[in-house]
């Protein structure tokens, strides 16, 4: 087994040897440019080091260990809030589709973009439906009117007959 591993390592070494040598040559050629780049970016490096030191300052004071309980509480509350929100969203969508209630779409009306379009739409509406009422709405109104007249006549008949009875007795 050791001979097999030794053979594999030797093959890997000789297979990667040219690549390693080319990379070493590239690094040697680019090293002056890398040194110059590091020198030019030195102020940026110091600024980044300062910013990281300021940002990581609370971690050096071990503030997170003191706030761990609050962090867990707020995290769990957020997860529960998201879960309840998703459940309410699903329930509302199921109920609104079941009851065919789409209040947002019914409440919004598109307005014509110009006065001429508005007037043309109003004129079409008055030509199709007199006084803004459809034929079925007019029939429903007539039926309600007849029913209310019947009720009034019945009440009037009862009043008249009670007056006759009271006048006949007295």
In a domain, 105, yes or no: no
pTM of the shown model: 0.29
Same domain, 35 and 6: yes
Position 116 confidence tier, pLDDT thresholds 50, 70, 90:
confident
Mean pLDDT, to the nearest integer, of 149-164? 61
The answer to whether residue 72 scores a pLDDT higher than 70 is: yes
- What three-state secondary structure class fits 78? helix
Same domain, 74 and 18: yes
Same domain, 79 and 43: yes
In a domain, 39, yes or no: yes
The pLDDT value recorded for residue 61 is 75
Cβ partners under 8 Å of residue 101, min gap 6: 95
The answer to whether residue 81 scores a pLDDT higher than 80 is: yes
Same domain, 81 and 130: no
Residue carrying the six token digits 């109104």: 141
Dump pLDDT digits (tens) for 27-67.
999 999 999 999 999 999 999 999 999 988 877 777 667 77
In a domain, 104, yes or no: no
In a domain, 52, yes or no: yes
Dump pLDDT digits (tens) for 90-101.
999 998 888 877
Domain total in the chain: 2
In a domain, 101, yes or no: no
CA distance 161 to 170: 14
Last residue of a domain, one of 89, 123, 150: 89
Same domain, 32 and 81: yes
φ/ψ of 30, rounded to 5, equals -85, -5
In a domain, 97, yes or no: no
CA distance 17 to 23: 10
Structural domain boundaries enclosing 137: 110-169
Give the percent of the chain with pLDDT over 70: 69
Return the minimum-mean-pLDDT range out of 46-55, 76-85, 143-152: 143-152
Residues 100 and 109: beta-carbon distance below 8 Å = no
Return the minimum-mean-pLDDT range out of 41-45, 121-125, 130-134: 130-134
Same domain, 13 and 52: yes
């Amino acid at each position: 087994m050791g001979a097999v591993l030794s053979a594999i390592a030797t093959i890997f070494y000789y297979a990667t040897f040219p690549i390693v040598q080319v990379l070493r040559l590239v690094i040697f050629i680019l090293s002056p440019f890398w040194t110059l780049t590091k020198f030019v970016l030195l102020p940026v490096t110091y600024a980044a080091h300062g910013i990281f030191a300021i940002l990581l300052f609370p971690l050096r004071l071990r503030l997170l260990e003191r706030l761990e309980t609050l962090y867990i509480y707020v995290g769990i509350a957020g997860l529960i809030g998201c879960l309840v929100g998703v459940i309410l969203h699903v329930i509302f969508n199921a109920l609104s589709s079941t009851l065919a209630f789409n209040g947002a779409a019914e409440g919004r009306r598109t307005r014509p973009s110009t006065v001429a379009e508005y007037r043309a739409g109003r004129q079409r509406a008055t030509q199709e439906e007199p006084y803004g009422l459809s034929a079925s709405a007019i029939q429903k109104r007539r039926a309600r009117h007849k029913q209310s007249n019947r009720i009034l006549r019945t009440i009037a008949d009862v009043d008249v007959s009670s007056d006759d009875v009271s006048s006949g007795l007295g």
